[in-house]
């Protein structure tokens, strides 16, 4: 069962990576194909004990210290330790999705130099289930400095409102004002590349009133959907169309592929 909060799950189950999951004390409390795992959810200091499938339990334990540990556990030299301490494998360049989301900062030069502060991006299907997580294709701040984007395919941990990320010091990417942009592909909860579908919704969470920050005027951004062939270099004018006008803070955008 899909979920965002523990309250979405019945029978004392917990919400782990957007899925209602059985709690446990030992492996005996779980089905034969599952193991009882201590799982540290992003933004929390104490792990929860839940039943996880064997392939997840043995190969993707949900907690990691560094890339080396993930590479050993997943037997993949490309594996990394994600921002929520979950092992993920970034999409290889040759397998990058032809559907991408282009987020462009519209904050003027009179706004804060940090401009739009991007916190999380994910996608819901037509049933409202979270099915995809943002993976960085390109991150170019307004000052053109070389910085890694923080979105790496890891599921975000949201606060109780569902409109901001949880934690006292969340990881953010500053677009830096007018000209800064972030290009994003999506992966599923196992790290495999995901193509968007008509009618899905892209959810963008930027730092703003939704996270308790009041700014007048607010830092704003524009979201576009880009569609290109796998062997093409992404060209904004040729491949992208806007999904909205000016937005700020928390926003949802309907995927239109036609």
Which residues are registered as beta bridge partners of 165?
Answer: 158
Please state, in angstroms and rounded to a whole number, the distance separating the CA atoms of residues 54 and 48: 17
Q: Say if residue 236 is in the same domain as residue 149.
A: yes
CA distance 192 to 96: 10
55 has a pLDDT exceeding 60: no
What is the token pair recorded at 64?
A: 């990691």
What pairs with residue 140 in β-bridges?
181
> What's the length of the chain?
258
pLDDT in tens, 113-122: 688 899 999 9
**Would residue 205 count as lying in a domain?**
yes
Quickly list DSSP for 161-224. Answer: TSSSB-SSS---EE--STT-EEEEEEE-TTS-EE---TT-EEEEEESSGGGT---SSPP-EEEE
Q: Say what the pTM is.
A: 0.64
Q: Could you give the C-alpha distances from 230 to 97, 98, 151, in angstroms and in order?
A: 7, 6, 21
Count of structural domains within the chain: 2
Decide if 127 is inside a domain: yes
Domain that holds residue 135: 93-254
Q: Are 174 and 114 in contact (CB under 8 A)?
A: yes
Q: Is residue 201 part of a domain?
A: yes
**Cα separations (Å) of 157 from 41, 105, 147, 253?**
7, 24, 23, 20
Rounded distance between C-alpha atoms, residue 191 and residue 171, angstroms: 20
Domain end marker among 63, 88, 113: 88
Question: Do 202 and 240 belong together in one domain?
Answer: yes
pLDDT in tens, 147-164: 778 888 888 888 888 899
Of the pLDDT bands very low, low, confident and very high (cuts 50, 70, 90), residue 178 is confident
Give the DSSP per-residue string, 4-26: SSGGGS-TT-EEETTEEE-B-SS
Residue with tokens 């963008």: 204
Choose one of 88, 117, 150: the last residue of a domain: 88
Q: Which of 7-21, 35-49, 121-135, 227-241 is the most confident on average?
A: 121-135
Examine residue 42 and state whether it is found in any structural domain, yes or no: yes
Q: What CA dihedral angle connects 61, 16, 253 and 119, to 10 degrees?
A: -70
- According to DSSP, the residues that pair with 186 across neighbouring strands are 134, 194
Same domain, 80 and 103: no
> Does residue 235 lie within any of the structural domains?
yes
136 occurs within a structural domain: yes
Q: Which of 42-46, 156-160, 209-213, 252-256 has the lowest mean pLDDT?
A: 42-46
Residue 165 lies in a domain: yes
For the ranges 32-46, 47-61, 95-109, the lowest mean pLDDT is seen at 47-61
Which of helix, strand or coil describes residue 119?
strand
Q: Which of 67, 88, 109 is at the close of a domain? A: 88
- The answer to whether the Cα torsion of 132, 135, 137, 139 is positive or negative is positive
Query: What is the predicted pLDDT for the residue at 149?
Result: 83
Q: What are phi and psi of 125, to 5 degrees?
A: -85, -175
Tokens for 11? 């029978």
Report the candidate in 133, 112, 257, 104 with the shortest Cα–Cα distance to residue 191. 133
Q: What is the pLDDT of residues 66-118, one digit of tens each?
A: 778 778 777 778 777 765 566 666 655 555 446 889 999 988 755 556 888 99
Residue 1: inside a domain: no
121 and 241 both lie in a single domain: yes
């Amino acid at each position: 069962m899909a979920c965002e909060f523990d309250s979405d799950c019945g029978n004392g189950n917990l919400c782990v990576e957007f899925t209602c999951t059985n709690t446990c004390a030992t492996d005996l409390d779980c089905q034969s194909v599952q193991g009882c795992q201590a799982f540290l959810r992003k933004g929390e200091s104490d792990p929860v004990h839940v039943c996880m499938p064997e392939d997840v339990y043995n190969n993707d334990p949900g907690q990691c210290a560094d890339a080396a540990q993930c590479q050993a556990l997943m037997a993949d030299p490309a594996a990394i330790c994600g921002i929520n301490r979950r092992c993920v494998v970034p999409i290889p360049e040759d397998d990058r999705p032809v559907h991408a989301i282009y987020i462009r900062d519209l904050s003027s030069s009179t706004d804060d130099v940090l401009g739009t502060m991007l916190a999380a991006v994910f996608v819901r299907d037509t049933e409202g289930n979270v099915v995809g997580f943002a993976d960085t294709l390109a991150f170019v701040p307004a000052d053109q400095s070389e910085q890694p984007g923080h979105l790496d395919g890891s599921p975000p941990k949201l606060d109780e409102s569902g409109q901001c990320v949880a934690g006292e010091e969340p990881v953010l990417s500053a677009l830096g004002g007018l000209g800064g942009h972030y290009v994003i592909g999506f992966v599923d909860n196992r790290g495999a590349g995901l193509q968007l579908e008509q009618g899905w919704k892209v959810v963008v969470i930027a730092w703003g009133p939704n996270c308790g920050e009041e700014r007048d005027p607010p830092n704003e951004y524009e979201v576009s959907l880009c569609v290109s062939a796998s062997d093409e270099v992404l060209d904004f004018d040729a491949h992208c169309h806007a999904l909205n006008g000016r937005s700020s803070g928390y926003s949802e955008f309907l995927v239109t592929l036609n």
